[in-house]
Amino acid sequence: MIATASHRLLVAPERWARLRRLPAHPILDRCAAALDALADEWARDFTITVDETGHNYHLIRARHTQTRVVSLLVQYGRTGDLRFRDAALDYVRLIAGWEYWSWITWREGNAALDAIFDLSYGENSATLALAYDWLAAELTPDERALIVDTAQTRALRPYLARNGAPGEEMWYYRRKDCNWNTVCNGGAGMLALALGDACPESARVLELAEEGVRHYFEFLQEDGAWPEGIGYWGYGHRYGYWYLLSHERATGRPHSLLDRPGSRATLRFPLLFSPNNVPASFGDVNRYFPLPFHYAAAERYAMWDVVAELDRRMLRILEQDTAQFNTNGCWPGIAEMLLFHPGEMPGAECDWPTISIQKGLEWCYLADRWPQPRLYASVRGGATQAPHTHQDLLSVNVVVGDEALLQNVTVDDYLDSTFQGRRYEIFENMAASKNTLLVNGLGAPQPAEVVTTRVAGNGWEGVLLDATAVMTVGSPVRHCSRAVLLLEGQALLVLDRMALEHAGLFETRFHTDGRARMRGMTARVQGERESVHLAFASSVPAVLRLTRGLPTNPRREAETVLRWLSLGKVKEAAHATIITPAGSGRVRIDAGKGNLHVTGPGFAVTLHYATDGPGLA
């Protein structure tokens, strides 16, 4: 086991020394000024207020506390002022004194310290790890005993109790596609790295953490795409990279998991599904906010295109409101940025594909350009057998400029029903709340998987999703598919097709928080800054309706739903929707059996399709 010394986790001692004379950079300048005010406040006022009716409020409390501990220790590193150091240790005493770390065991009334090792345990472990590592060389015997004893009794021994017996580990231990893996295993592993020989449990905990985390990172395929979406990518990867970067720093050796192609490529994934920092992901927590670990990981790989894109986004965020950087997710973003931001680095172009199917996940995107697309769509292909997924196969999100104008409805809050067997009866999780197609009132089921292929023709290219094998609508389905195409980089075409053994209803549905107006078979959606024009056509008589959604949370305003419906029951139908930024010019769309002709500013496209099969040409 490595001997204990200060500043072995996450960043090198020289990066700590840099805190005293930060390089000139607009991001570092803003964060430093903001931390001055926050650290002073948190060193005086130890009140942490959380909504105790909220889902997993013990976890939120742990995050607020981590934010304060890390922020105060970074401020101590900047100033040498002992009141920040002492205040950070007072917060550690709060952690040590909490009767319950876990919301789950609190609800059960089970106060046994080793009853569980859940997300709260993982995050508290990481907080203890950083406090010990960053102060190790100067802790008094009582302070050292505080952290070591708390780590042993509240973290390392519970981790061994819940994960130390082969075949009896907690459900997340080897889970390859869930954030719990890296938060729990990574937090425990960081604590073992920090304590080293100070705790006899460290060696075994580190061995187990290595085995658990391995499954998470080996799951990342060539594109590094993540099935839980961009919000949980940030959460799981934050703790995963925190652990692996700490392991490299502590041992002085590269970690084999970071040498995998997917571990590198995944740093682009959340950027590709949040154009102009607008979230366009799928499933729970469709939010993305640049986190400082992303900089640390990108610097490790010298991925300067990622650093440049993160900087572009961060500058805009900080210009609007520096404080929101620290409140997003209740994590210490401002303080971490002072440690992790590399300073001025060589710029690089974001030479990213404008159309891509993410390997292994089959989420897709189409963009007219990078790094700042004017017109963008994300498309939900692949499978839904992963945590935090919705009944959203075949769905599409559309972003114009820096505004999402057509976007799946997603959850605002977690309820007791959110992760139970009836999860997909909640409006925000079901197909009815998605920008998808419905046959006889039904979308693709959950779980299910659709086949996704790249397609291209004269003046168009995009993706084709074939759901024939999974659609069950009470009538034999001969064909069901959706194509999402980019037309000369100027417009999006969504082409939905179905063929049934017996006649049924067919619908294409879009949701928006913007102001929607319809005129005949066209509609305009106006957002705060951008707007979009939709033109509809069908091979069968159809009608456009505007309705409202049914949000579960009473504080959320109902969205507007644009519904393009066959007027009656039919055996075969093709619905076409042309989506253009409003004001770009007149669009004409003609649909007939087996063909579609679309004209508009900068494009004139004719497509031919099989009426009862996947063909598209």
pLDDT at 616: 82
Q: Are the CB atoms for 46 and 83 separated by under 8 Å?
A: no
Fold assignment, 355-608 = Beta-galactosidase; Chain A, domain 5 (2.70.98)
From residue 554, how far is each of 412, 551, 557 by CA, in Å? 10, 7, 8
From residue 373, how far is each of 137, 350, 380, 454, 489 by CA, in Å? 49, 11, 19, 20, 10
3-state secondary structure of 99: coil
pLDDT at 326: 67
Chain centre distance of CA 567: 38
The helix (H) or strand (E) run that includes residue 131 is helix 119-135
Q: Comparing C-alpha atoms, which of 181, 261, 176 is closest to residue 221?
A: 261
pLDDT at 5: 54
pLDDT at 617: 67
pLDDT at 329: 53
Phi-psi region of 224 (alpha: psi -120 to 50; beta: other; left: phi over 0): left
pLDDT at 345: 80
DSSP string, 136-185: GGG--HHHHHHHHHHHIIIIIHHHHHHHSSTT---TTTT-SS-HHIIIII
Q: Are the CB atoms for 337 and 38 separated by under 8 Å?
A: no
pLDDT at 4: 46
The helix (H) or strand (E) run that includes residue 536 is strand 531-538
Express each pLDDT in 303-341 by its tens digit: 999 999 999 999 988 888 766 666 555 679 999 999 999
pLDDT at 390: 96
Distance CA 560, CA 547 (A): 6
Q: Please report, for the chain, the start and end positions of each structural domain, with discontinuous segments joined by +.
A: 13-340, 355-608
Q: Which residues pair with 449 in a beta bridge?
A: 383
Distance CA 435, CA 146 (A): 53
Domain spanning 13-340: CATH 1.50.10.100: yes
pTM value surpassing 0.75? yes
- State phi, psi for 566 to the nearest 5 degrees: -65, 140
User: pLDDT below 50 — which residues of the chain?
Assistant: 1-4
